[in-house]
Amino acid sequence: MSAEIIWLCHRRAEADADVAIDLRTAVDVAIRDLQEIQAHWGSELARVRLAECRSMLRMVLEVS
């Protein structure tokens, strides 16, 4: 199995671009984001990743 890795920092740069993402990929990205959030709990980086993760999952659910 292979997956396209979508780094959220790149997605910020492409905020206006229409990036298609399926639900499975969104869940994979969210799991990795949660690991980063846990590792940096309480920091600005964790808050930014949490907001990005939430936004991405909402976007995917609206499209699905």
Q: Return d(Cα 26, Cα 31) in angstroms, integer.
A: 9
| Domain ranges across the chain | 21-63
User: Does residue 30 contact residue 56 with C-beta atoms inside 8 Å?
Assistant: yes
Query: Taking Cα atoms as reference points, which of 12, 6, 2 lies closest to residue 52?
Result: 12
pTM (2 d.p.): 0.60
For 2, list phi and psi in degrees, rounded to 5: -130, 160
- pLDDT tops 70 at residue 5: no
Please write the tens of the pLDDT for every residue from 22-52.
Answer: 888 888 988 998 998 999 999 998 999 999 9
Q: Return d(Cα 9, Cα 5) in angstroms, integer.
A: 12
Q: Return d(Cα 3, Cα 18) in angstroms, integer.
A: 19
